[in-house]
Structure 1
Amino acid sequence: MEQGLQTTKKGPVYQFVLVALLSLNFGIVFFDRNALNFLMPYVQPDLNLTNTHVGILASALSLTWAIAGFLISAASDKAGNRKGFLIVAIFVFSLCSFLSGLATSFLLLLGARLLMGAAEGPINPISQTLVVREVDPRHRGLAMGVMQNFGSNFFGSFVAPVVLVAIAAAWGWRTAFFLAGVPGIITALLIWKFIEEPPEEAKKKEGPDRLTLKEAFSYKNIVVCSFVSVLLVSFLVITWAFMPLYLTQVKGVEPETMGWLMGTLGISATIGSFVVAGLSDRIGRKPVLVAIPFMGVILPLGAMFYDGSVWMLAVMFFFGWALNGCFPLFMATVPSETIDSAHVASVLALVMATGEVFGGVLSPFIAGLAADTFGLQAPLWMIFGLAIIAGFAAMALTETAPIKRAKTQAAAA
C-alpha cells in the first residue's frame, strides 16, 4: 500500500494555492459539462430532441471523457509534463462550450459534446496527481476531496443551474453557452502563472514505465473502486440528465425553481468536499465509502413521493446528494494509496474511465430509453438501486487511510 507516495514538500501556502486553483478549474469543467443538462428544458423543444437523444448526448460526452482521460493521463505520466497537458485541455473544452451554443441540430450538438468530453477527461486525473505529489499525506484525503468536489459542485452544481437558467430565460440558451466558455480561459492562465511542474527528481521511480491493465486490476481495491465508479457515475449522470426534466415535466416545477433545487445539490457536495473527505482522514476511507452511498436513496424518493414545501424538498436533495462526497475517495484517494506513485495518473484515469464508459456512457442511454418507454420516473428508480448496490460493494475495500494503517501496524507491533 501507498508504494512510493512521496511529496515534493512544498510549503503550506503553495499547497493551498495548488488545491484552490485546481479545484476552481475543475469547477469550471463541471460548469461547462453540466450546462446542457440544466439548459435542456430550453434546448430540447428548440432542437426537437427526444428523451433518447438526451441520454445519447450525456453518453457521448462520457465516452470521449473516459477514452481521452485514460490515454492522455497515461501520456502525461510518460512525458512528465502534467501542467502542459492540463493547460491545453482547458483551452479546448472552453472552445467546445462556444461550439455547443452554435449547434442547430442534434448531430452538431453531439459533435460538440464529443469534443468537450475528450478535452475534459484528463483534467481530474492529472490534477489529482499534482495534489498527490505536492500535498502532505496527512491531509491527502481532505485535499483531494476539496480539489475534486469543492469547485466542481459549487460552480458546476450550484452556480451553473442558477446562473445559466437565469441567462437562458433572459437572453436564450445559446447566450448561456457562450458565456460558460469564458471562465476556463481565465483559469488556464492562472494555472500557467502559479502552478509548477513537480521537479524531475521527484518523479524518478523503479520498475516498469508502463502499468498494464492486468497489473492494475490485480489490486482488489482498484477493482472495487472501478465497480463503485460505474455505479455512482451512473447515479450522477442520470440525475443530471433527467432530474431537471422530471421536475419540470412531471412535478410541474417552474424552470427557475428547478434551477434552485438542482443548485441545492451543489451546496450539498461543496460542503461534502470538506466533511466527507475530512472524515475519511480521521475514521478511514472504507467506513465512509460504505455508509454515505446509502443516503443517496433520499434523492429519488423525495423527488417522486414528496409533494409538500419546495424548501423541504431542497433539504431532501441536500442530504440525498451527500454521496457525491465519496467521489474523490474511490476515484482518487484510495487508488493513489494503493498503487505506486509512478502510475498514479494512469490508475486514477483507469478508475474514472471505467466509471464513465460503463456508467456514464451506457446508463444515460438506457435511462433515456426507459424514460421514453415507462415515463420519466424510470430513471429515478434506477438511481435508487444504484445507491444501494454501491454501499454494499464498498464493503469489499481494504482500508488505505494513513491514520488507520498506522494504528494497525502499531497494534501488530
Structure 2
Amino acid sequence: MAHAPDTAAGTTGNWMKNSPAYQTLLVFLLALNFGIVFFDRQALNALMPFVEPDLQLSQTQIGLLASGLSFSWAIAAFFVGRLSDSLGKRKLLLVIATVAFSLCSFLSGIATSFLFLFAARLLMGAAEGGVMPISHAMVASEVDPKRRGLAQGVAQNLGSNLLGSFAAPVVLVWFATMFSWREAFYLAAVPGLISAAMIWFMLREPEMPKAPPKPKQSLGASFSDYLKEIGAAMKVRNMWICVVVGVLMVAHFVTTWAFMPLYLTTVKGYDPTTMSWIMGSLGIAAAIYSFTIAGLSDYIGRKPVMVWLPFLAVLGPLGAMYWEGGAIGLAAIFFVGWAVNGVFPIFMATIPSETFEARHHATVLGLAMGSCEVLGGVFGPVIGGALNDAFGMDSFLWLLIGLSIVSGFIAMGLKETAPAVLARRGEASPAL
C-alpha cells in the first residue's frame, strides 16, 4: 500500500485551486450534513424514555437497536467509501445517502414493534455509513493540509454534536412531549432533504487524483485485492492502534447514548425535559472540543490528546453513579468528561489520512470508521444491555469506565504524525 508523502501529508494539490471561502463553505456544509446524520441517529436514543414503554422493550433489545444501526453503518462505511474512490463521484453519492437516511427516519416513526423498528434502524445505518468517509476524503483533498486536523474535526464533530448531541435530545424530547415520539421522528426527517439540496447546488464534485503509472502497490479492483490492501493497512502500527482505540471509544460513545437517557429518568429520577438538557450538555461540550481538541492536536501533536482524554472520560460514568447534587452539577461533570469526543476525528481520519495517498483516503477512512462501528458500535451496546438485564442499570457505567482506561493505555503506542510537530522536531513522517 502506498503511503502519503511526508511534506504534503497525503493530500493532492486540489486545495490550491480552491479559495479560502470555498474551503470554509465546504467544511460548513459537510459539518451541517453530518450533524443532520447524527440528529437522525440520536433521535431514538433521546426518545427512548417514550419508545421503551410504548413498545415494551427490554434492555437487551435497546442495545440491539443501537447495535443494528452501527452494524449496517459499518458495512456502508467500508463499501461506500471504496465505491466513491472507484467512481470518483463523491458529491453524488453523498447526496444520495443524505436523501436515503432522511426517508428512513419516517420508517422509525411508524414502527409498531421491536422488529419493525430494528429493520428501520438497519436501513438508516446503511444509508448513513458512507457519509463520513466521503466527507473526510473531500476535506483531505479540498482543504489546505495545514488546517486538516481542525477542518476534519469541525466536519465530524461540530455539526454532529450541536445537532445530534445537543439539538436532538432538547428539540425532539420537547416535541415528543407536546405531540408524540412518532411525530418527533417525522420532524427529524426534514433537515436532511434540505441539506442534500444545498450540497448538490453549492459544492463542486472534487477532482480525483490520477493514479501513478506504475505504483509499487495500489488498491486493486477486485474484492480479494481490496481485502489484501486492508490487511496491509492493518499491519501499520498507527493504523491498528487507531482501529483498536476507535473500537473501544465508539463502544463508549454508542453505549453512553443508548442507555444514559433512560438511566437518568428511571434510576436518577430526572424528568424527560431535565434529562434532555443534561444529555444536551454533551453536545455543547463536544461542539467546543471539535475546535479545541482537533485544532490543538495540529500544534501539540495527535498522541498527547489521544492518550490523556480517554482517561478523563471516566468522569462521566462516575458522575452519573455518585453525583447527588443538582442537574447543573451533573451536566458540568459530563461536559468535562466528554472532552474525549474531540479525539474521534483524529483516530478515524486525521492520523490515517496522514499515512496513505490521497486517492485511497475514502477507502482507508472507511476501514477506520467501519471497524470502529462494526466492532465497537455493534458489540458495545449489546454487552451493555445484557449486563444491565443481568446485574442492574449501573452495569453499563462500569463498562464505560473500563473502555476509557484501556483506550488511554493503548494510545501510548502511537507514533506522532502531526506535520507541524514533526517539522519542529526535524523529523519525517513515521516509517510505515
TM-score bucket of the superposed structures, by smaller chain: over 0.9
Pairwise CA RMSD: 1.3
Q: How many Å separate the matches in 1 of 2:289 and 2:78?
A: 27
For the 8 Å contact 2:91–2:206, the answer to whether it is kept is no
What is the CA-CA distance between 1:404 and the residue it aligns to?
A: 1.3
For the 8 Å contact 1:18–1:195, the answer to whether it is kept is yes
For the 8 Å contact 1:78–1:209, the answer to whether it is kept is no
1:74 is the counterpart of 2:82: yes
- 1:38-97 C-alpha deviation (Å, 9 max, x unpaired): 000000110111111100000000000001110111011011111111110001000000
1:47 is the counterpart of 2:55: yes
What is the CA-CA distance between 1:191 and the residue it aligns to?
A: 0.3
1:349 is the counterpart of 2:382: no
What is the CA-CA distance between 1:6 and the residue it aligns to?
A: 2.1
Q: How many Å separate the matches in 2 of 1:154 and 1:195?
A: 22
Q: How many Å separate the matches in 1 of 2:81 and 2:375?
A: 19
Q: How many Å separate the matches in 1 of 2:53 and 2:428?
A: 63
For the 8 Å contact 2:136–2:152, the answer to whether it is kept is yes
Q: What secondary structure does 1:181 align onto? A: helix
Corresponding residue of 1:225:
242
Q: What secondary structure does 2:426 align onto? A: helix
What is the CA-CA distance between 1:203 and the residue it aligns to?
A: 4.3
Are residues 299 and 205 of structure 1, via their aligned partners in 2, closer, same or farther at CA, if it must alter by over 3 Å? farther
Q: Give % identity.
A: 55
What is the CA-CA distance between 1:195 and the residue it aligns to?
A: 1.1
Q: What secondary structure does 2:412 align onto? A: helix
1:321 is the counterpart of 2:309: no
Corresponding residue of 2:231:
214
For the 8 Å contact 1:128–1:147, the answer to whether it is kept is yes
| Alignment gaps of 5+ in structure 2 | 221-225
Corresponding residue of 1:24:
32
Number of matched residues?
411
Q: How many Å separate the matches in 1 of 2:153 and 2:287?
A: 10
What is the CA-CA distance between 1:28 and the residue it aligns to?
A: 0.1
Are residues 374 and 5 of structure 1, via their aligned partners in 2, closer, same or farther at CA, if it must alter by over 3 Å? same
Corresponding residue of 1:294:
311
1:2 is the counterpart of 2:8: no
Corresponding residue of 1:57:
65
1:88 is the counterpart of 2:105: no
Are residues 203 and 307 of structure 1, via their aligned partners in 2, closer, same or farther at CA, if it must alter by over 3 Å? farther
What is the CA-CA distance between 1:409 and the residue it aligns to?
A: 2.7
Q: How many Å separate the matches in 2 of 1:12 and 1:249?
A: 49
AA matched with 1:406: A
| Alignment gaps of 5+ in structure 1 | none
- 1:268-297 C-alpha deviation (Å, 9 max, x unpaired): 000000000010011111111111111100
When you count helix as a share of all residues, which structure comes out higher? 1
AA matched with 1:44: E
Q: What secondary structure does 1:5 align onto? A: coil
User: Which aligned segments of 4 or more residues in structure 1 are displaced greater than 6 angstroms?
Assistant: none
Corresponding residue of 1:154:
162
Corresponding residue of 2:126:
118
AA matched with 1:124: M
1:237 is the counterpart of 2:237: no
For the 8 Å contact 1:7–1:135, the answer to whether it is kept is no
What is the CA-CA distance between 1:408 and the residue it aligns to?
A: 2.8
Q: How many Å separate the matches in 2 of 1:142 and 1:44?
A: 38
Q: How many Å separate the matches in 1 of 2:299 and 2:419?
A: 9
AA matched with 1:324: N
Are residues 209 and 47 of structure 1, via their aligned partners in 2, closer, same or farther at CA, if it must alter by over 3 Å? same
Alignment partner of 1:192 out of 186, 200, 203 = 200
What is the CA-CA distance between 1:11 and the residue it aligns to?
A: 1.0
AA matched with 1:284: G
Q: How many Å separate the matches in 1 of 2:205 and 2:426?
A: 34
